[in-house]
Amino acid sequence: MASYLQVENISKSYGDKILFQNISFNINEGDKIALIAPNGTGKSSLLKILAGLDSSDRGGEVKFMKDIKVAFLDQMNNFNPQNTLFDEVYSRLGSTYDVIRSYEQAIASGDEKQIERAMAAMDAADGWSVEQRIKQVLTSMKLTRLDQPMGELSGGEAKRAAIALMLLQQADFLVMDEPTNHLDIDAIEFLEGYLSKSRCTLLMVTHDRYFLDRVCNTIMEIDRGEIFTYRGNYTEYLEKREERISNYNAETDKVRNILRRELEWIRSTPCARTGKARYRINAFYDLKDRASQVYTQKQVSMEAMKGATRLGTKIINCKDLSFYYGQDCYLDKFTYNFQRYEKVGIVGRNGAGKSTFLNLITGRMFEDDPGVLTGVIERGESLKIGYYHQSGMSFNPQDTVLDIVNDTWLLNRFLFPHEMLNNKIEKLSGGEKRRLYLLTILMQQPN
């Protein structure tokens, strides 16, 4: 198989924190690789270096095979909220956009001469096949309202649009950062089927192990600044990783036994050391450093979050609840009394109103919201809601971790060690920001 990507000796660090150092790897044609690692260990940073949006700290080389087409899907959707879906998609087509745009305007005008000229231009630019493919991909992603402003799309619809733009590039090599975030089940299944059947080469960051298992045949892990590659699915990766860590820790135990003998030698009297090889003393300090290295799995501790306020018998009661945006009905005479200790999942296609529903029952909809709400929502007097919403928290990027949560004990239990407390928010990874946001909610002790 041809080598599509060669990465040699690239490094990245932020201040004293080393994400990865002098890592090298190769991706061949047809590989479908999932890149996994804990939050804040450099997954997105690595993808940005591959995309040319960032650079390695100390040289190194990123080399894609000549003449292959590479498409990148970022974790964040950088759309112009004023653009319509039509403009956002078609504007990526270069000169073909102007031809198709003119044709659409001619059809809307009804002017026969204008339509005739526009059709001739479409013939010359092969606009028909381009337009057909675009509409085919958009329809597959359930995006049919081409006049809808991007700013009005739900989180899931915006992600669908980003994926559609990536697929329309017909690239040989796809690099994707969290492709399933905010997608509904139908969209995930479509993307899963497309990637499984496609002959494209793939490198993606994902925390969705089921999607990973169905799409990928290789797992690449960033661990302690190094890259480890495993062939097989997620279950096989866990087994092989555990074996690697066990072997490493067993080797550490052997080194410690040797270190104890060398320590006795080092502590011997100066007279006894006279004339002994200097390299043995240097080797002792190398042993000491290696003996201190052992793998430990740190987990977020939720024990610190106990002590939520008491919850009464009335939670949230909804009666004949209806909600409209213009002519669009998102909720129609919904009646339900939520009970204590219920665990309720809300499902639905992207744009169906799931987030709107949560905003309604938690009281986050504002009085000046353009939607029309009728019916009754009653909330219990003792109700204290912790709402973790998909848009996240608006942090001041110049604030530090300690500015946001001034409790070092809690921060440590949420995997923010002492050396991270003065890190600015802008330096945190996406996952670290979400973990910090979750902590701010749980600190309020919702019930």
What was the pLDDT predicted at 420?
86
Sheet holding 372-379, edge to edge: 328-337, 316-325, 372-379
Nearest-CA neighbor of 334 among 353, 348, 321? 321
Look up the pTM and report it.
0.75
Nearest-CA neighbor of 325 among 156, 181, 148, 160? 148
What was the pLDDT predicted at 291?
67
Q: What distance in Å separates the CA atoms of residue 141 and residue 157, rounded to the nearest whole number?
A: 9
CA angle 353/360/141 to nearest 5° reads 10
Helix 278-291, helix 234-266: angle, nearest 10 = 140
Q: What distance in Å separates the CA atoms of residue 433 and residue 271, rounded to the nearest whole number?
A: 57
Nearest-CA neighbor of 373 among 360, 359, 362, 355? 360
What was the pLDDT predicted at 225?
84
What was the pLDDT predicted at 204?
93
Q: What distance in Å separates the CA atoms of residue 199 and residue 30, rounded to the nearest whole number?
A: 6
Tokens (6 digits) for 13: 């660090």
Q: What distance in Å separates the CA atoms of residue 45 and residue 22, rounded to the nearest whole number?
A: 14
346, 355 contact by CB (below 8 A): no
Q: What are the phi and psi torsion angles at 376 (to 5°)?
A: -125, 135
Distance (Å) of CA 197 to CA 32, 131, 201, 212, 322: 11, 23, 11, 14, 42
What was the pLDDT predicted at 93?
67
What was the pLDDT predicted at 270?
57
What was the pLDDT predicted at 306?
65
73: left (phi over 0), alpha (psi -120 to 50) or beta: beta
189 contact partners, CB below 8 Å, separation of at least 6? none
- CB-CB neighbours of 53 under 10 Å: 12
What was the pLDDT predicted at 401?
93
What was the pLDDT predicted at 39?
80
What was the pLDDT predicted at 242?
87
CA angle 127/128/132 to nearest 5° reads 115
What was the pLDDT predicted at 426?
87
Q: What is the pLDDT along the chain (447 residues), one digit of tens a residue?
A: 789 999 999 998 877 778 888 999 999 999 999 999 888 788 888 988 998 888 898 888 999 999 899 999 988 778 888 888 888 887 776 777 788 888 888 888 888 888 888 899 888 888 888 878 888 888 888 888 888 899 888 888 899 999 998 988 888 999 999 999 888 888 899 999 999 998 899 999 998 889 999 999 999 999 888 899 999 988 889 889 888 888 877 877 777 777 677 676 666 655 445 555 666 666 766 666 666 666 666 777 776 566 667 888 999 999 999 999 888 899 999 999 999 989 999 988 888 889 889 999 998 876 567 788 999 999 999 999 999 987 777 888 899 999 999 999 899 888 888 888 998 898 888 888 888 999 999 988 899
